[in-house]
Amino acid sequence: MSMTSGSRKRRQRQDKITLSDVAHQAGVSAITVSRALREPEKVSPPLREAILKVVEEMGYVPDLAARALASKNSGLVGVMSPGLTSHAFLALIRGIEDRVRSSDLRIQYASAETDTEDQLRQLRFFLSQNPAGLIHVGQIGDPAIDDLLRHAPCPVVEIMDVSREPSDMAIGIDHRQAAKTATRHLLEKGYRRIAMLGGAWDFRARRRLEGFRAVLEEAGLFDPALVLSIDGSTSVGLGCHLLDRLKSEAPDAEAAFCHNDDIALGVLFECQRRGLAVPQDFGICGFNDLDYAGFAFPAITSVRVPRYEIGYRAVDMIIRAAGSDTSPTKRVDLGYQLVQRGSTARTG
Amino acid sequence: MSMTSGSRKRRQRQDKITLSDVAHQAGVSAITVSRALREPEKVSPPLREAILKVVEEMGYVPDLAARALASKNSGLVGVMSPGLTSHAFLALIRGIEDRVRSSDLRIQYASAETDTEDQLRQLRFFLSQNPAGLIHVGQIGDPAIDDLLRHAPCPVVEIMDVSREPSDMAIGIDHRQAAKTATRHLLEKGYRRIAMLGGAWDFRARRRLEGFRAVLEEAGLFDPALVLSIDGSTSVGLGCHLLDRLKSEAPDAEAAFCHNDDIALGVLFECQRRGLAVPQDFGICGFNDLDYAGFAFPAITSVRVPRYEIGYRAVDMIIRAAGSDTSPTKRVDLGYQLVQRGSTARTG
DNA sequence: CTGTTAGCGCGTTCAT
DNA sequence: ATGAACGCGCTAACAG
Residues of B in contact with A80 (CB under 8 A): none
Q: Do A128 and B295 touch (CB under 8 A)?
A: no
Domains A2-61 and A70-173+306-333 share a fold: no
Assess whether pLDDT exceeds 60 at residue A2.
no
At A281, is the pLDDT very low, low, confident or very high (cuts 50, 70, 90)? very high
Neighbouring residues of B191: CB distance < 8 A, sequence distance ≥ 6: B254, B255, B283, B344, B346
Report pLDDT for B324.
64
Whether the pLDDT of residue B26 is over 70: the answer is: yes
Interatomic distance B38 CA / D15 C1' (Å): 21
Give the Cα separation of B285 and B338 in Å (integer): 10
Q: How far is the CA of B253 from the C1' of D1 (A)?
A: 72
Please report residues of B whose CB lies closer than 8 A to that of A235: 291-292
Out of A24-33, A277-286, B106-115, B217-226, pick the least confident.
B106-115
Residue B202 has pLDDT above 50, yes or no: yes
Lowest mean pLDDT of A328-342, B97-111, B265-279, name the range. B97-111
Mutation for B interface: A87, A89, A109, A265, most B CBs within 10 A: A109
The class (CATH top level) of A175-305+337-344 is alpha beta
Q: Which residues touch strand D (CB under 7 A)?
A: A 28-29, 31-32, 35, 42-44, 47-48, 69-70, 72; B 16, 18-20, 30-31, 34, 37-38, 60, 62-63, 66-67, 69-71, 73
**Mean pLDDT, chain B, whole residue set:** 89
- Residue of least CA–C1' distance to D11: B70
pLDDT exceeds 60 at position A147: yes
Q: What is the mean pLDDT of residues B93-121?
A: 84
Task: Please report, rounded to whole angstroms, the spatial distance between the CA atom of protein residue B53 and the C1' atom of nucleotide D10.
Answer: 20
Tell me which amino acid residue B321 is.
Answer: A
Give the pLDDT of residue B150: 87
B1: burial class by Cβ within 10 Å (0-12, 13-18, 19+)?
exposed
Examine the pLDDT at A255 and tell me if it is beyond 90.
yes
Q: In A151-202, where does DSSP find H-type helix?
A: 175-188
Q: Which among B235, B273, B327 has CB closest to A297?
A: B273
Q: A286 to chain B, minimum CA–CA distance in Å?
A: 16
Closest CB to B85: pick one of A90, A129, A292: A90
pLDDT of residue A136 exceeding 60: yes
Is A296 in contact with B152 (Cβ distance < 8 A)? Answer: no
- Cα distance between residue A212 and residue B208, in whole Å: 47
Predicted structure pTM score = 0.89
Nearest CA in chain B to A153: B9
Whether the link from the prior residue into A131 is cis, omega within 30° of 0, is no
Mean pLDDT of chain A: 89
In angstroms, the separation between the Cα of residue B232 and the nearest Cα of chain A is 14
pLDDT at position A169 over 50:
yes
What is the model's pLDDT at position A15?
Answer: 64
Whole-number Å distance, CA A40 to C1' C11?
15
Residue A23 has pLDDT above 70, yes or no: yes
Identity (one letter) of the amino acid at A43? V
Express each pLDDT in B141-182 by its tens digit. Answer: 788 888 888 888 899 999 999 988 888 999 999 999 999 999
Mutation to test the B interface, candidates A58, A69, A98, most B Cβ within 10 Å: A69
| Of residues A127, A269, A297, nearest to B295 (C-beta) | A269
Are the C-beta atoms of residues A48 and A40 closer than 8 Å to each other?
yes
CB contact under 8 A, A93 and B85: yes
Q: Which residues of B touch A273 (CB under 8 A)?
A: 297
- Cβ distance B292 to A237 less than 8 Å, yes or no, reads yes
* Strands A302-304 vs A337-339: parallel, antiparallel or unpaired: antiparallel
Q: Which of B9, B55, B165, B274 to mutate to test the interface with A (most CBs of A within 10 A)?
A: B9
pLDDT at A40 over 70: yes
Q: Does A4 score more than 60 pLDDT?
A: no
CATH topology of domain A70-173+306-333: Rossmann fold (3.40.50)
Position A246 scores a pLDDT of 98
pLDDT, residue B11, reads: 39
Whole-Å CA distances, B11 to B7, B14, B59: 6, 5, 16
Assess whether pLDDT exceeds 60 at residue A14.
no
For residue B220, give how far its alpha carbon lies from the nearest alpha carbon of chain A (Å): 35
Mean pLDDT of A90-115: 85
Q: In sequence order, what DSSP letters do the residues of A36-81 get, joined into one string?
A: HHH-GGGS-HHHHHHHHHHHHHHT----HHHHHHHHT---EEEEEE
> Above pLDDT 90, what percent of chain B?
68
Which of A128-142, A254-268, B46-60, B219-233 has the lowest average pLDDT? A128-142
> Can you tell me the mean pLDDT for A219-238?
93
Q: What percentage of chain A carries pLDDT values higher than 90?
A: 67
At B53-66, the pLDDT tens digits run: 999 999 899 999 99
CA B203 – CA B174 distance, rounded (Å): 12
> Do A290 and A87 meet the contact criterion of CB atoms below 8 Å apart?
yes
Quick one: what percent of chain A has pLDDT higher than 70?
92
Task: Please determine, for residue B273, whether its predicted confidence score (pLDDT) is greater than 50.
Answer: yes
Across the interface, whether the CB atoms of B63 and A128 are under 8 A apart is answered yes
- d(C-alpha B260, C-alpha B301), whole Å: 11
Mean pLDDT, residues A331-338 taken together: 97
CATH code for B2-61?
Answer: 1.10.260.40
What are the domain boundaries of chain B?
Answer: 2-61, 70-173+306-333, 175-305+337-344
A328 pLDDT above the threshold of 80 = no
Contacts with B273 from chain A: Cβ below 8 Å: 297
What is the predicted pLDDT for the residue at A139? 64
**What integer is the mean pLDDT of B303-319?**
96
**pLDDT tens-digit series, residues A61-81:** 999 999 999 998 899 999 988
Distance from B272 to chain A by nearest Cα, in Å? 7
Q: Residue A232: pLDDT band by 50, 70, 90 thresholds? A: confident
Give the nucleotide at minimum CA-to-C1' distance from B42.
C1
Q: What is the pLDDT of residue A86?
A: 78
